[in-house]
Structure 1
Amino acid sequence: MSIALKDADDGLFSNYETEFQLAYGEISQNLDEFVHLTAAEQRKTATGIQRAIDEAYEIIDQMAVEVQSIPSSQRSRYNNKLRGYRSDIEKAKRRIKSLRENVDRNELLGVASQGVGRDVGADQRQQLLAGQESLDRSSERLRESQRVANETESVGANILTDLRAQREQIVNSRNTLTEADNYVDKSLRTLRSMARRMAANKVITYAIIAILVVLIIFVLLSKFW
Structure 2
Amino acid sequence: MDTSPTALFDSYEQDFQQFIEAIRVKLEGDAKEERGEQQQRSATLRQVEMELDEADEMVSQMDIEIQGIPQSVRAQYHTRLRAAKADLARYKKLAADVRGQLARSDLLSTASQPGNYPASDDPYGPSSDRTRLLAGTSILEDGTKRLQQSQRIALETEDQGAEILSNLRQQREQIENSRNTLYGADLAIDRASGTLKKMVRRMYQQRAVTAGIIIVLVLLIAVITWEKLS
Give TM-score, length-normalised by structure 1: 0.75
Q: Which moved more, 1:149-158 or 1:42-51?
A: 149-158
Listed as ranges, the matches of 1:121-136 within 5 Å are 121=125, 122=127, 126-136=132-142
Q: Pick the aligned partner of 2:149 from 120, 143, 146.
A: 143
Listed as ranges, the matches of 1:20-169 within 5 Å are 20-33=16-29, 34-36=31-33, 37-114=36-113, 115-117=116-118, 120-121=124-125, 122=127, 126-152=132-158
Rounded to whole Å, the distance in 2 between the matches of 1:78 and 1:159 is: 26
Cα distance, 1:117 vs structure 2:
2.4
Check the 8 A contact 2:104/2:131 in 1, yes or no. no
Q: What are the ranges of 5 or more consecutive residues in structure 1 without an aligned counterpart? A: none
Cα distance, 1:150 vs structure 2:
4.6
Change (3 A) 1:153 1:67: farther
Rounded to whole Å, the distance in 1 between the matches of 2:210 and 2:130 is: 119
Q: Which moved more, 1:186-195 or 1:31-40?
A: 186-195
1:18 alignment partner AA: Q
More helix by proportion, 1 or 2? 1
Q: What are the ranges of 5 or more consecutive residues in structure 2 without an aligned counterpart? A: none
Cα distance, 1:81 vs structure 2:
0.7
Check the 8 A contact 1:65/1:154 in 2, yes or no. no
Matched residues, percent identical? 20
2:45 alignment partner AA: A
Rounded to whole Å, the distance in 2 between the matches of 1:163 and 1:80 is: 34
Rounded to whole Å, the distance in 1 between the matches of 2:75 and 2:167 is: 19
Q: Which moved more, 1:69-78 or 1:23-32?
A: 69-78
Check the 8 A contact 2:19/2:51 in 1, yes or no. yes
Number of residue pairs matched by the alignment = 218
Change (3 A) 1:26 1:77: same
**Secondary structure, counterpart of 1:17 in structure 2:** helix
Listed as ranges, the matches of 1:193-204 within 5 Å are 193-204=199-210
Cα distance, 1:216 vs structure 2:
7.0
Check the 8 A contact 1:31/1:96 in 2, yes or no. yes
Q: Which moved more, 1:128-137 or 1:207-216?
A: 207-216
**Secondary structure, counterpart of 2:124 in structure 1:** helix
Cα distance, 1:219 vs structure 2:
8.1
Change (3 A) 1:76 1:166: farther
Cα distance, 1:124 vs structure 2:
5.6
**Secondary structure, counterpart of 2:69 in structure 1:** coil
Q: Which moved more, 1:154-163 or 1:93-102?
A: 154-163
Cα distance, 1:70 vs structure 2:
2.5
Cα distance, 1:153 vs structure 2:
5.2
2:32 alignment partner AA: V
Rounded to whole Å, the distance in 2 between the matches of 1:173 and 1:5 is: 35
Cα distance, 1:48 vs structure 2:
0.9
Q: CA RMSD in A?
A: 3.6
Check the 8 A contact 1:53/1:89 in 2, yes or no. yes
Cα distance, 1:206 vs structure 2:
3.3
Cα distance, 1:166 vs structure 2:
6.2
1:103 alignment partner AA: L
Rounded to whole Å, the distance in 1 between the matches of 2:80 and 2:181 is: 44
